[in-house]
Amino acid sequence: MYTDDQQKKLQKRSDELLQDVEHIQADKRTASDKAEELKEVLRYHDWRYYVLSDPVITDYDYDRLFHQLKKIEEQFPDLVTNDSPTQRVPEGLTKEFPEVQHIEPMLSLDNSYNEGDLRDWDDRMKRMLNTSQVDYSVEPKFDGSSVALVYENDQLVRGATRGDGFTGEDITTNIRVLRSLPLSAPFSSEGISRVELQAGDLCLSHWLCC
């Protein structure tokens, strides 16, 4: 998710922010810039901790950065954005989930217990892709919840269960508390304004970091 160069820059900026962590700018423009920097470094540290399990900052220093961002947002409420790390707090979790339609059906793969089925499937893939060679990545299967995530204009706008494959339950409020789940992603850099990401029986943190 982050290149080595990006990580070095974010770590350096994180250290700089910690040196001035107790100071809150009264000027809104300066506070806006500081808030964006804090969001960026906090997302980086969330990725290091929750996805890589390799933090490069202490919990204490993380909390100092987090609370500084929270103070800025309290002082200037219009600086709060949906993808801010402060918006992951597990308040307002719901047990009622309205039904939503998936953009594309969440289909399920058939089980297979013999070589012939796998070869038939490989042949279908090659015909569909019009190629004679397909590379596969094989890894252990993680049992877990199947989810569909919808991002619009780079922002997470919906999370839904698989349901029957066509209709699932909206779990957006609850899924936002997962710190391994990006609340925003730069799909627009690829010319994509709306996308639905689907994963079945996978560990979320493993899926999203790959």
Query: Is the distance from CB of 38 to CB of 65 less than 8 angstroms?
Result: yes
Give, as one character, the DSSP assignment of residue 53.
S
141 counts as catalytic: yes
Residue partners of 94: CB distance under 8 A and separation at least 6: 173, 174
How many Å apart are CA 158 and CA 160, to the nearest integer? Answer: 7
Active-site residue, selected from the candidate residues 9, 70, 95, 141: 141
Query: Is the distance from CB of 202 to CB of 148 less than 8 angstroms?
Result: no
Please classify residue 23 by burial: count the beta carbons closer than 10 Å to its beta carbon, then call 0-12 exposed, 13-18 middle and 19+ buried. Answer: exposed
Q: Using CA atoms in the order 113, 114, 119, 125, what is the torsion angle rounded to 10 degrees?
A: -10
Query: Is the distance from CB of 165 to CB of 105 less than 8 angstroms?
Result: yes
Residues with a known catalytic role: 141
